[in-house]
Structure 1
Amino acid sequence: MMDSYVLDFQQIDKASLPLVGGKGANLGEMTRAGFPVPAGFCVTTGAFRAFLEQSDEMEAFFLSLAAVKADQLDEIAALGRGIREHLVTVAVPAEVLAAIMASWRRSGEAQAYAVRSSATAEDLPTASFAGQQDTYLNVLGEEQLLEAIRKCWASLFTDRAISYRAKNGFDHRAVLLSVVVQQMVFPEVSGIMFTADPISGHRGTVSIDAGFGLGEALVSGLVSADLYQIRAGEIFAKKIAKKKLAIFPLPEGGTVTRQLPEDRQGQQALSDPQILELAALGERIEKHYGSEQDIEWCYAEGRTYVVQSRPITSLYPVPQMNVPEGESPHILLSFGHQQMMTDAMRPLALSVLRTMIPFGKAAVRVESSFTQCAGGRMFLDITQLFTLKPARRFFPKLLSGIDELIGIGVEEFVQREPFIRSLPRQKGLKRGALRLIMPIAGKAIHNLLFADTSRAVQIVNEWMAARLTEVRTQLTGVVGAERIMRVQEQDGMMLRSLLRNVIAYPLAGIISLGLIKSLTKKWLDDTKTVHVLNKSLTGNVTSEMGLMIGDLADTARRYPQIAEIIGQADNANFRSSLQQADGGDEFIRQWDRFMQHYGMRCPGEIDITQSRWSEDESLLLPAVQSHMRTMEAGEHRERFAQGATQADEAARELIGRVRALPFGWFKAKLMSRLIKVFRNLMAIREHPKYLMMQTFGLIRQALMDEARLLVEAGVLKHEEDVYYLTLDELLQLTQGEPLIRLSLDEKIAERKREYARFRNLTPPRLMTNEGEIITGHRKQKDAPEGALLGTPVSVGVVEGFARVVLRPEEARLNKGEILIAPFTDPGWTPLFHSAIGLVMEVGGLMTHGAVVAREYGLPAVVGIDGATQRIKDGDYIRLDGTRGYVLILKRQD
C-alpha cells in the first residue's frame, strides 16, 4: 500500500501519468532515458485521493465546481477560497505520511528540495496546465516539506486552475494531483529552452532564454533574459539583456530576490560553447519524445541539468511534406483565408477541396500535390510559381486583393536571398502557365473591348444550368464505388470548367474597374465617384439572395404568428408550425422558392460537412429576424433601386465631365465602354462560388446517400462518421478494402479527437513547411493614435455600436450596429442588410465581404487581426472605410 503513495523517478515512465501527472511522468521518463535530471520522487495521485477521502465536504464542493462557468470569476474566487481553507484543516492519512517520510529519508534529509505540483491533465501533447498550480523552492526539513506538499494539493483549486479546467472542459473530479519532490540544484545560470521557435514556429530553430540564479525569475517574468537562437548547429542570433535581478536560495530555506552587481547585469549568461552544448541536449530530448519540447534547465558546477520538459502545445501543426535537402523552404498559403472561412474542417471536406484543385495532379480524380493539410486546414503550396520572375513581382499584388497581409507577407518572403537561390526549378512550368493563362486573358480582353456584354449574365447562367444538369446526371443511378469515383471526377473537373468558361467575364470586369479608377484619377483627379459605380450590380447571385431574404421578412411581418415562429428558430417543428399558422401557405411557397435557389448554401459553405440551409432551416431564421428588426417593409428593395439609380447618375455625370476634356469624344466613348463592361460583368464575380456550392450540394447528397448504405451494411456506425474519411478511403470501403494501420472505428475516433483539438487553433495566413509563420507587416496609415489598422475595402465613415458575431446563426443585430466578424462568406450575406458597417479579421479588396459591402454601400475595413477580441460587443466605434481603420470611441462597461 505504501508503495502506491510514493514512487521514485527511476520507477516512473510516460505510462505512469495517471499516478504522477504530466510533470512527474516526464521527469521519470527522462531519468530512465539517461538525461541529466536531479534525483527525486513523486507523491502519487493515490496519496492525493486518500487525502481528499478524509474530507466529508469535498463531495459538495465538487458538485459546486461542476456547475460553475469559466467566466463566473466572483463565484470561482469564493468557491476556490473555501476549498483551500478547508483542505488545510484536513489530516494527512497516516499511511501516506509514513510513505512520504520514508522516501524523504532515503533521498537525504539534509538535502534541499524543489516541491512542485503535477496534475494528470498537465504537460500533455494537447493541453498545458503550466503555471496553474504552485511551486516551492529550497524546501528544508520535514515541516517545510509537508507544508509544501499540502499547499501543492490545495493549489489544484486556485482560481486560475478552476477557471482553466472549466474553460477547457476538464472534469474537476477527473483531474488529480501528484507532487514532485526533487533535489534542488543551486545554479549559476538557468532558463528555458524551446526546441522550436515559439514565436515564428520554425521547427529548425532552438531558442534559449538564460539568466543568472534560479529559473523562477524568468518563469515569473521578474527579469528579462538573454535570448540565443541556434539553427543547424550554429548560433545565428543573440540578444543580451540587462539582467538586474536574480533569485537565490536562503540558508534557512526559501528564496530571496536580489539585485545583481552593475558589472554582471550586461554579461552574457552562457558562453557560446555552453549554448551549443545545451542546444544539442535539447535536440536529443526532442528526438526521444518525438515532438518539440519546452525544457527548463539549469547550469551548476560545470554541469547542465534538466528539471522539466513538456510538449510545446502552442505551435501550429506542420504539414507532412518531403522537401529535398538543400531546397528552399516551401511557402504555403491558407486556402481558408482566401475563401473567407478559417474554421477547422474534417477530413472529408479537406479531401473534396484537395480533389477540386485542378493543378498538380496526374488524373482528374486524385488530390492535388500542390495542397497540404495542417491543423484541419488546407494550404496551397505556391512555391513553384516563384521560379517565374514575373510571378515574384505580380503575384503578391494579386494576393493583396484577397488579403493585404498575405500579399505583404509573400512579397517579403520571396525577397529573401536564400529563398531565391534555392528555389526548385520546375520544367515546363512557364509553358504550362501560359497555356492556362493565355486563353483566359484573350477572352477577358475580347470581353473588355469588343463583346456585347449586355447578355453576359444570361449566358453564364445558361452555361451553369447545363453544367449542373450534367453533374446531376452523372451522380444519379449509381451506387458504391462507381458513385464515389464519379464524385471524384465531377469534383476534379469543376474548377477547370469554371476557369475555361466563366472566369474571363469577372476578370474583364475587374480590369475595367482598375482602368476606370486610373483614368478618372488621371483625367479628373477624382477618386470618389468610382465607388458609387459599385452599387446595386444587376444579376449578382449573392445580392439577389439577400433581396429574397428581405422579401421573406416582409411576408413574415404581415403575419404575427409567422414572426413568432421565426423568433423561436425551432428546426424540428418549423414547417409543421408554419402549416398551422395564418399566412403559412404563402410563406412556405416563398420559403421553398428561396431554398430551391439557395438551399445548398450555409455559413462556412466550402466545408462540405456543414449542414446546408435546406437541411437545417433554423440556421437562416436569425437573419430573417434581424432583417425584420432593423428594416422597414420594402426598404431593402428601395435601397437597391436607389443604389442602381445613384450608379447610373454617377456614370452619366462621369462621362459628361470626361466629354468636356480635350479629345473628350474619344475619352467619353472609352469611359462609357469601361463602365458598361464593369456594370455588366462584375455582377458575375459571385457566380463561380455559386456553381461550386450547387455542385457541392449534389456531391454532399451523393456522399450522404452512400453513408446511409454503409450504415445499413454495418460498415459505419453513424452516417456522420463519413466526415472523418477521405474520398479515397471512402472508395476503399465501398470496394470492400480494409483501411490499414488502425481499425475503422479507431481511425474515426482518433480523427474526431484531432478535429476537436484543431477547432481551437488559429491558422496562419502563410507558413513554411518548416513551421515558420510568415507575417506581413502593414505600413503605418494616416490614422488616429490607438486606431486598429486594416485594409480599406468600401469607402465611407460611420459611427455606431459594435456587434461581435462569431457565428451568423447566433447573430442578433439591431438597427445602427456595425458588424464585427472573423470572416464572411455568402452564408453571412443576410446580415449585411441589417448592419451599417463591416469589420473583418481577414479579407481583401476583392473578397466576398468587400465586394458585397461596396454593392450595399456599407463602409468596410478588413484584415484587422484579432478584431473580434480587441473590439467588444457594445463598444462605440468609428469605422473609416476610406483610410482603413477602426477607432474605439467608448468602451462598453
Structure 2
Amino acid sequence: MNGTSLVRTFADLDRTCLDEAGGKAANLGELVRAGLPVPPGFVVTTAAYREVAATAGLEPTLAALAETPVTDTERLAKLACEARERLLSSAIPDATAEAILAGYRELGNDVPVAVRSSATAEDLPSASFAGQQDTYLNIVGADALLDAVRRCWASLWTDRAVAYRATNDVDHDLVALAVVVQLMVDAEVAGVLFTADPVTGRRRQAVIDASPGLGEAVVSGAVNPDHFVVDTATGEILERRLGDKRLAIRSLPGGGTEHVAVEANEACLTDDQIRALARLGDETEHHFQAPQDTEWAIDATGKLWLTQARPVTTLFPLPDPLPSTAKDDVRVYFCGSVAQGLTRPLTPSGLAAFRLVGTSIAELAGIVVADRLAGPPAIVVAGQRLFFDFTPILRNEDARSIVPRIFDVMEARSAVIARTLADDPRYAAEQGSGWRLRRRLFRVARRLRAPGTLLAAVIDPRTGHRHAARLTTLMARRTAVPPNASPRERLEHVERILGETMLPTGARVMPAAGAGFLLLGLVAKLLGKKLASGDLEAVLRSLPRNVTTEMDLELWQLAQRIRSEPAAATLFTRKTPVELAALFGDGALPAIAQDGLAEFLRTYGHRAVAEIDLGMPRWSDDPTHLLGVLANYLRLDDEALAPDRLFARGAVEAEAAVARLVAKAGLAKPVVRFALRRVRALAGLREYPKYLIVLALAAARRELAMIGRDLVAAERLAVPDDVFFLDLAEVRSALGGRDHRALVVERREAYAAELRRRRIPRMMLSDGTDLEALGTAATEGDLVGTSASSGTVTGIARVVLDPVGAHLEPGEILVAPSTDPGWTPLFLTAGGLVMEMGGANSHGAVVAREYGIPAVVGVPDATSRISSGQQIRVDGASGIVTISS
C-alpha cells in the first residue's frame, strides 16, 4: 500500500472522488478548486479504513445487520457496538500511520487540527447524514491525531449512524470512511449558513446562525444562536433575531476544547459580516449548482473561512419547467397529486398521462397547446409530483372566489392558503378576466352537453343513472384495440385514449352528480342560520349509487362467503397476503375464494392503490392488497362494525337528517324536500367520473404493458414493467430502436428516493417557498420558539433529559433540552420534536427535517413547562407549541 493512495491533499480532490475521500472531503476539494477560503488540510482515504477494517473481522456483524429490520433499534445498537469495538481494538499499520503523520507535518509542527469523519454515504445530494459520524476539534500532536483518526473510523458504526443508514436503505457493507484533517481555525465567531431557507424552502435566501467561539456550539444545539436571514440578490437583511448565546466552545492551548460561560447581549456579527457570509454562500451555491448547507468561521483577524459544505437535502425540488416570466413574477403552484390524496411520486408514464390529459382539458376550453405530449404550460412537475400553475386563478376576478369554495370541500388546507394569497398585491385580479373564464367554461359546458344532462337528472334521477351506465359502455368501446395491432398502433391508441377519449367521456357524467351538490347548496341558502353544524354532511351519509361504496360492500360480501367455509377462512388467517396472491395466481385458492375474487376482478380489476398513476399495477395485475383486505375483514368479529351494517345505519341517519331539515324549512318545505331527495339520489354519482377515468387508464396501461413485452424482446428494456418508467415520446423512440435500459435504472433509483420523501407542499411558489410552512401567529399561553422543520403534529409529549435508555412510543413528541447525534435513534419513532436550545440549523433541526417530522427549537424551559403524557401541538412552520391537556 503506497502513501499516495492513503493520504491526499484537498487540492487533489473533486466531487468524483466520493469513493476515495467520502462526501465531506470531496466537497472540500471542490471548494478549494473554486478558489473559496478553505483552511488547508488533507484526507486519510477510504483505502486506509478498508485496510484496517479487513483485519477487524466485521463480516459476521455485517451479515447480522443485513438481516435486522430497521424497527429493531435495540439489535441495531448492539451490532453497531460490536463493530466499533472491533475497529477500536485494531492496530493502525505502520505505513498508514506514517502516511498520516507525513501529511500532518506538511501543515506545520504540531499544529492544532480538526479531525472530521468523511463517509462515502455522507453529504450526498439525497441524504446529508449530518452529524452521524464523529468530529474531534483542536487535536494537537502525532499520538492525539492517530487516536482521533481511529475513533473517526469507529464512528462509522455509532448507533445513530447505523440507524440512519438503515432508515435510508443504505447498505452497511458498501460504506467506508475517510478522515479529514484540517488546520484548526481558532474562531472568534462561527456557525452555519444555508443558502436556501431550510424551513420554508425559499431559494436565494441565506439563513445564518452564529455564536461566539467554535461552530460546534451552534451545530450541536448547545446555544440559542443569533439568527439572520438575508435576501441573497439584494443583500437586504430580512430578519435579525438575537439568541442568548450563554456559552462558547473555545480551543485550549495544548489541545482539546472547553465550554466557557459568556454574556453576549449584542449581535456577534456586524451587518457587513452578515452580507459577506451571504455572498460567500452564494458563490458556494453557484459552484455546486444547488443550495448548500455550510459551516464557517471568522478568526481573530476577521478572515472568513469555509470549513464544510454539503447539499441541502430536505428542500422540495423546484417546479420543472419554471416559467420564463419576469424576474419579480413569482408563480403559485398547486399540487394536484396531494389533492387526489396521493403523496407518493408519480411514475414517468403517470406524469406523461396527465400531461396529455391536460392537453385534452385545454383543447376542450379552446386553448391551443403547442406540444400535445408536453401538455399545457400550466402543468409542471416537482419532486415527481404533479403541480398546476395556480397564478391565473388568483388573478381571475371570478375564479379567485369560486375555487377556494371548491377547495373547502376537497382540500380545506389549500383553501386557507388560497384565500391568504388573494390578499397579496402580487396576485391582484386582472380587470376583465372574469369574462374570459366564463366564456371558456360555457364552451366546455356546451361541448360536454352539461346543461341538458343536469336538467334531465334533476327532473328524473334515473336518467342520470342510465347516462352513467351508457358512458361506461361507451368508454369500454372507445378504449378497445384490435388484438392484432402493431406496437406503434397500440402506442397511437394509448395517446388517443389519454388525449381524446378519457376526460371528455368521463367528465360527461359530472353534471348529473353536480346537480345533487348544487341542490345541496340551494338548501344551505334557503335554511341559512337554521342549519346546525354537520346538518348537511349528515345528508350525504351512505349515498346510494356510489360506485366505490358498492365495490367495498361487494368485497365485504365475498369475505362473508369465505367465512362460511371454515377451511377457506382458516387459510386466510394463516397465510400472508403475498402467499395468498401466489395461490390465486396458481388457481389454488379454495373454490369459493378463487372464483369469488376472479368475479370481483372482472368488474373492479382496473382499480388500484394510487390508481390515478397509469404506472401503478392494477388489482388484476396484482391482487395482494385485496387479499390483505379480505383477511382483515375475516378478523372483524364485532357485527356492529360490519361495513354493510354501518352503511345501513348511515342511510337511516341520513333520512332522519333530511326529515329534520325539512321540518326547519317553514314555507320552503316542498322545495327543501324535493332538493334533498334529489341530493340523495344524485350525489352518489360523484365517484363515477373517476371510475370511468381509471377504467381508461387501465386500458392504456394494458396496451403499454404489451408494448413493454415487445421492447424486452427487442433488448431495449430489461423487463416489461420498465415501460412505465418512460414517457410516451421515449416509448416511441424505443420502438424506433433506442435502448433505454440505462435510463430506466436511473429513473427507478430517483423514484425510490422520492418514495422516502415525507413532506409534500400543497401549494408552493416558484422560488421554492412552501406556503403552508410560513406558519401562523401565536396566541396567549403558547410556547414560542424557532421554526426548524415545517409541518404540524398533535400527540403525546415525552420529556427526555438523557437519551441513554430512553424509549419513545411511535408518534410521541420528543421534548428535550437539546439533541446531538447521539439522540438520532429516538427520531425514528418520534412524531415531532421540541428543544429548549438550538437554532434552525442545529443538528436536531437538520435531522428532524430529514426525517420529515415537525420541529420547534429554542423553546425556553420546554422540559419543565411540558410534562410527559400531556397532549401538545407542534407547529413547525410558525415555531409555536400549544399544550392541549
Q: TM tier, shorter chain? A: 0.7 to 0.9
Name the CA distance, whole Å, in 2 between partners of 1:628 and 1:223.
55
2:547–2:691 contact (8 Å) kept in structure 1: yes
Name the CA distance, whole Å, in 2 between partners of 1:639 and 1:342.
29
> Partner of 1:372 in structure 2?
380
For normalisation by structure 1, the TM-score amounts to 0.81
Shift of 1:511: 2.0
Shift of 1:591: 2.9
Name the CA distance, whole Å, in 2 between partners of 1:326 and 1:179.
43
1:596 is the counterpart of 2:602: yes
> Partner of 2:244 in structure 1?
242
Name the CA distance, whole Å, in 1 between partners of 2:505 and 2:129.
49
Residues 64-79 of structure 1: matches in 2 within 5 Å?
64-79=64-79
> Partner of 1:536 in structure 2?
542
Deviation readout 1:381-430 (Å, 9 max, x if unpaired): 12112221222223223223222111112222342223439999999556
Q: Over aligned residue pairs, what C-alpha RMSD do you find?
A: 3.5
Q: Which amino acid aligns with 1:467?
A: M
**Closer/same/farther in 2, CA of residues 876 and 249 from structure 1, 3 Å limit:** closer
**Closer/same/farther in 2, CA of residues 677 and 139 from structure 1, 3 Å limit:** same
1:297–1:308 contact (8 Å) kept in structure 2: yes
1:541–1:686 contact (8 Å) kept in structure 2: yes
Residues 55-94 of structure 1: matches in 2 within 5 Å?
55=56, 57-94=57-94
1:111–1:183 contact (8 Å) kept in structure 2: yes
> Partner of 2:583 in structure 1?
574
**Closer/same/farther in 2, CA of residues 195 and 179 from structure 1, 3 Å limit:** same
> Partner of 1:35 in structure 2?
36
1:240–1:267 contact (8 Å) kept in structure 2: yes
Deviation readout 1:356-377 (Å, 9 max, x if unpaired): 2222634765523221112121
> Partner of 1:512 in structure 2?
519
Shift of 1:68: 3.3
Residues 774-789 of structure 1: matches in 2 within 5 Å?
774-775=771-772
Partner SS for 2:123: coil
2:117–2:180 contact (8 Å) kept in structure 1: yes
Partner SS for 1:489: helix
Determine which of 425, 434, 440 is the counterpart of 1:432: 440
Deviation readout 1:622-650 (Å, 9 max, x if unpaired): 21222222257895445434443443454
> Partner of 1:471 in structure 2?
479
Name the CA distance, whole Å, in 2 between partners of 1:697 and 1:203.
39
**Closer/same/farther in 2, CA of residues 122 and 673 from structure 1, 3 Å limit:** same
Name the CA distance, whole Å, in 2 between partners of 1:499 and 1:510.
18
Shift of 1:109: 1.6
**Closer/same/farther in 2, CA of residues 295 and 530 from structure 1, 3 Å limit:** closer
Moved more, 84-93 or 613-622: 84-93
User: Runs of 5+ in structure 2 lacking a partner?
Assistant: 784-790, 794-810, 812-831, 833-851, 855-868, 873-881
> Partner of 1:212 in structure 2?
212
Shift of 1:269: 2.0
Q: Which amino acid aligns with 1:488?
A: E
Partner SS for 1:53: helix
> Partner of 1:745 in structure 2?
741
> Partner of 1:10 in structure 2?
11
> Partner of 1:827 in structure 2?
none
Q: Which amino acid aligns with 2:466?
A: Q
> Partner of 2:228 in structure 1?
228
Shift of 1:717: 2.1
Determine which of 245, 258, 261 is the counterpart of 2:260: 258
Partner SS for 2:174: coil
1:396 is the counterpart of 2:397: no
Residues 264-283 of structure 1: matches in 2 within 5 Å?
265-283=264-282
Residues 607-646 of structure 1: matches in 2 within 5 Å?
607-630=613-636, 636-646=643-653
Shift of 1:479: 2.3
Name the CA distance, whole Å, in 1 between partners of 2:663 and 2:83.
79
> Partner of 1:298 in structure 2?
297
Shift of 1:52: 2.5
Moved more, 168-177 or 132-141: 168-177
2:235–2:275 contact (8 Å) kept in structure 1: yes
1:765 is the counterpart of 2:753: no
Q: Which amino acid aligns with 1:683?
A: G
2:206–2:230 contact (8 Å) kept in structure 1: yes
Name the CA distance, whole Å, in 2 between partners of 1:114 and 1:709.
58
1:754 is the counterpart of 2:756: no
> Partner of 2:808 in structure 1?
none
> Partner of 2:837 in structure 1?
none
1:127–1:313 contact (8 Å) kept in structure 2: yes
Deviation readout 1:236-291 (Å, 9 max, x if unpaired): 22222232221111112111111223xxx221222222222221121111111111
Q: Which amino acid aligns with 2:280?
A: L
> Partner of 1:668 in structure 2?
669
2:397–2:434 contact (8 Å) kept in structure 1: no
Name the CA distance, whole Å, in 2 between partners of 1:580 and 1:112.
71
Name the CA distance, whole Å, in 2 between partners of 1:68 and 1:77.
11
2:506–2:690 contact (8 Å) kept in structure 1: no
2:454–2:511 contact (8 Å) kept in structure 1: no
Name the CA distance, whole Å, in 1 between partners of 2:570 and 2:670.
55
Name the CA distance, whole Å, in 1 between partners of 2:534 and 2:255.
73
1:440–1:503 contact (8 Å) kept in structure 2: no
Name the CA distance, whole Å, in 2 between partners of 1:425 and 1:515.
27
Moved more, 22-31 or 267-276: 267-276
> Partner of 2:828 in structure 1?
none
Q: Which amino acid aligns with 1:150?
A: R
**Closer/same/farther in 2, CA of residues 464 and 171 from structure 1, 3 Å limit:** closer
2:457–2:464 contact (8 Å) kept in structure 1: no
Partner SS for 1:767: strand
> Partner of 2:556 in structure 1?
550
Give the % identical residues: 31
Name the CA distance, whole Å, in 1 between partners of 2:626 and 2:198.
41
> Partner of 1:289 in structure 2?
288
> Partner of 1:480 in structure 2?
487
Partner SS for 1:389: coil
Moved more, 202-211 or 512-521: 512-521
Name the CA distance, whole Å, in 2 between partners of 1:424 and 1:122.
54
Partner SS for 1:160: helix
1:520–1:527 contact (8 Å) kept in structure 2: no
Residues 869-888 of structure 1: matches in 2 within 5 Å?
none
Q: Which amino acid aligns with 2:418?
A: V
1:509–1:679 contact (8 Å) kept in structure 2: yes
For normalisation by structure 2, the TM-score amounts to 0.82
Name the CA distance, whole Å, in 1 between partners of 2:260 and 2:271.
26
Shift of 1:119: 0.8
Shift of 1:310: 0.7
Name the CA distance, whole Å, in 2 between partners of 1:468 and 1:459.
14
User: Runs of 5+ in structure 1 lacking a partner?
Assistant: 792-819, 821-840, 842-864, 868-874, 879-886
